[in-house]
Structure 1
Amino acid sequence: MMLVEVTAPAAGALPVAVLRDHLRLGTGFDLGGADDGAETAALAGFLRAAVATVEARTGKVLLARRFRLRLEEWRDPEGQPLPLAPVEAVEAVGIADAAGAAVPVDPAAWRLVPDMQRPVLAPVGTFLPAVPSGGFAEITFRAGFAAEWAGLPADLAQAVLLLAARYHEDRSFEGSAGALPFGVSALIERWRSVRVLGGRGQSRGRA
């Protein structure tokens, strides 16, 4: 399995100004003003790192973007689970032979079964189309809560801000890369999935 991020979040979607205000109120640091390009770039970097960490811990995509999943075989031809949520739409499904020649699958042959923990690409009939030996299936889908920061669930948005502030305040963060601050862990806990049975998701809270 190979998952590739095809598009990045929309330009300007990261809440740099919100993080700047949060840091000023919480720490009293002088960040050099809104026109400080170097500081703005640094804050955006901390936000990207925090978003990536929260997404990795929860399996949820925060800011909407497009992904491509490549599979050498279906995990289950009666319904292929997708590794991220929430999925807004499956845009295309293709099947390639051993030579890499891809043929699109008719959209009438598949459908998206939305789920906050484990969305599924399901066949309209009995099975998804067979993947040739040496070939692969490719699914292009769009996932994320919202294109803009204001559309994110409040607890996940706050978790990102807290974590980005932590990265800013402790820029080395050495020895703590595997641990999240307690406040961040508490905010994301209900969104996490427990993966069992080879990757099947089970909600720890919100469905």
Structure 2
Amino acid sequence: MMLVELTAPAIEALPVAGLRDHLRLGTGFDMAVDAAETAALAGFLRAAIATIEARTGKVLLTRQFRLRLEEWRDPEGQPLPLAPVGSVERVEITDAAGVVVPVEGGWRLVQDTQRPMLLPVGAWLPTVPSGGFVTVTFSAGFGPWWDSVPADLAQAVLMLAARYHEDRSFEGSQGAMPFGVSALIERWRSVRVLGGRGGSRGRA
């Protein structure tokens, strides 16, 4: 199984001004916004977002991903590893010779905030040939702009980014998760389902 992020949030979608206010950094008519500071704050926000997404399996800002599987976890339904999934753009099967065949129909997306699924229209998902693989290109996230992110997750990002900013001079300090952040994201945490052997019916 291989999951690749194809797009990244634009800097305009990041709450840089919100983090600046949270940190109580100086602003005013006589103070130009420093480009280097803005870039640094955006970097702390991206790091905080990545950490919280890894802990929860939830994508905060919408972007596109590609999932590659050597075989379906279960031909009766494939869980997607991230949520919420807004759409599946493409399903393609590549055979052992490298020939790519788009799968038109034969599957449908079941949207779910915890465990979105790719389900067959009939009894089974399309067969993956021996030596081949299937790729699923999909978009996941709460929305393209920061005001789409649930309030508790948004606050957790600001708190964690602020900690990264405060601890920026101490190498390795970013490994610890503050208790307040953990409490905010707890209800969003879910078991990550990243694939497995085809035909496995066990639920993690």
Alignment TM-score > 0.5, same fold: yes
Q: 1:175 to 1:39 in 2, by over 3 A?
A: closer
Equivalent-residue separation in structure 2 for 1:15 and 1:59 (angstroms)? 21
SS at match of 2:92: strand
Rounded to whole Å, the distance in 2 between the matches of 1:47 and 1:201 is 33
CA distance, structure 2, for counterparts of residue 177 and residue 188 of structure 1: 17
Deviations 1:66-110 (A, max 9, x none): 00000011010100110000000111101000122110001x311
Name the residue aligned to 1:113: 110
RMSD of aligned alpha carbons: 2.1
Q: Which residue is equivalent to 2:13?
A: 13
- Given the superposition, is the C-alpha separation of residues 55 and 90 from structure 1 closer, same or farther in structure 2, using an over 3 Å criterion? same
Find the residue that maps to 1:146 and give its secondary structure.
coil
| Aligned counterpart, 2:65 | 67
Q: How does 1:23-62 map to 2 (within 5 A)?
A: 23-24=23-24, 29-30=25-26, 33-62=31-60
The corresponding residue for 1:131 is 128
Change (3 A) 1:46 1:125: same
- Deviation, structure 1 residue 17: 0.8
Note the alpha carbon deviations across 1:163-191, whole angstroms, 9 max, x for none: 00000011045454432001100000000
Structure 2 alignment gaps of length 5 or more: 197-201
1:140-160 per-position Cα deviation (integer Å, ceiling 9, x unaligned): 000000100011100000000
State the partner residue of 2:199: none
The amino acid across from 2:134 in the alignment is A
**1-structure distance, mates of 2:187, 2:176:** 17
1:192 equivalenced with 2:193 (yes/no): no
* CA offsets 1:13-57 (integer angstroms, 9 cap, x no match): 001111111101xxxx54894520110000000000000000000
Q: Distance in 1 between matches of 2:203 and 2:19?
A: 32
Letter in 1 for 2:39: A
- Are residues 1:103 and 2:122 paired? no
Q: Is the 8 A contact 2:92 2:135 kept in 1?
A: yes
- The answer to whether 1:169 aligns with 2:166 is yes
Task: Write the letter of the residue equivalent to 1:54.
Answer: I
Q: What SS does the aligned partner of 2:89 have?
A: strand
Q: Which amino acid aligns with 1:148?
A: W
Q: Which has the higher contact order (CA 8 A, sep 6+)?
A: 2
Paired position in structure 2 for 1:144:
141
Give the letter aligned to residue 43 of structure 2: G
Give me the identity figure in percent.
76
- Alpha-carbon shift at residue 131 of structure 1 (Å): 0.6
CA distance in structure 1 between the aligned counterparts of 2:77 and 2:144, rounded to whole angstroms: 27
Residues 144, 173 of structure 1: alpha-carbon distance in 2 compared, 3 angstrom cutoff: farther
**Paired AA for residue 77 in structure 2:** G
CA distance in 2, matches of 1:163, 1:34: 26
